[in-house]
Amino acid sequence: MTLRWDVLAAILGMALATYLCRAGGYAILRASRPPRFVQAMLNHLPGCIFVAFLAPALARGGPDIWVASLVTLAVQVAFRKLALAILAGVGSVWALQALA
C-alpha cells in the first residue's frame, strides 16, 4: 500500500474544514446569545436529524421493519428508556426476519 499525498491532503483539508465549522459555531454561540426562535430550533434539531436518517430506511423496509419500528415506538412510549426501546427494536427485527 502506498501513501498518496493528494488523498492525504484532501482528508486533512476536510478534517480541518469540519473542525473549523464546528468550532466556529461553538465560538459564535458562546460569544452571543441567540434569539429564542434559534434556541428552540436548536433544541429540536437532533430529532429532525434522526427522522431524516430514519425515514429512508423505513421507506425501503418491508413489513418486518414497520412492525419492528412500531414495537420500538411502543416500548419507548411505555417505559421511557432508550436502551430498552433499542433492544426491543433490534430483537423484534431479528425475530421477524428469522421467522420469515
Domain assignment present for 96? yes
Question: Nearest-CA neighbor of 71 among 48, 94, 50, 49?
Answer: 94
Cell of 53: 436518517
Domain region containing 69? 43-100
Same domain, 24 and 54: no
Domain assignment present for 5? yes
Domain assignment present for 37? no
The tens-digit pLDDT sequence of the chain (100 residues) is 788 999 999 999 999 999 999 898 888 878 888 889 988 887 888 888 888 988 998 999 999 999 999 999 999 999 999 899 999 999 999 999 999 8
pLDDT for the residue 13: 97
Same domain, 59 and 94: yes
CA 32 to CA 23: how far, in whole Å?
14
The pTM of this model reads 0.56
Same domain, 27 and 47: no
pLDDT for the residue 79: 97
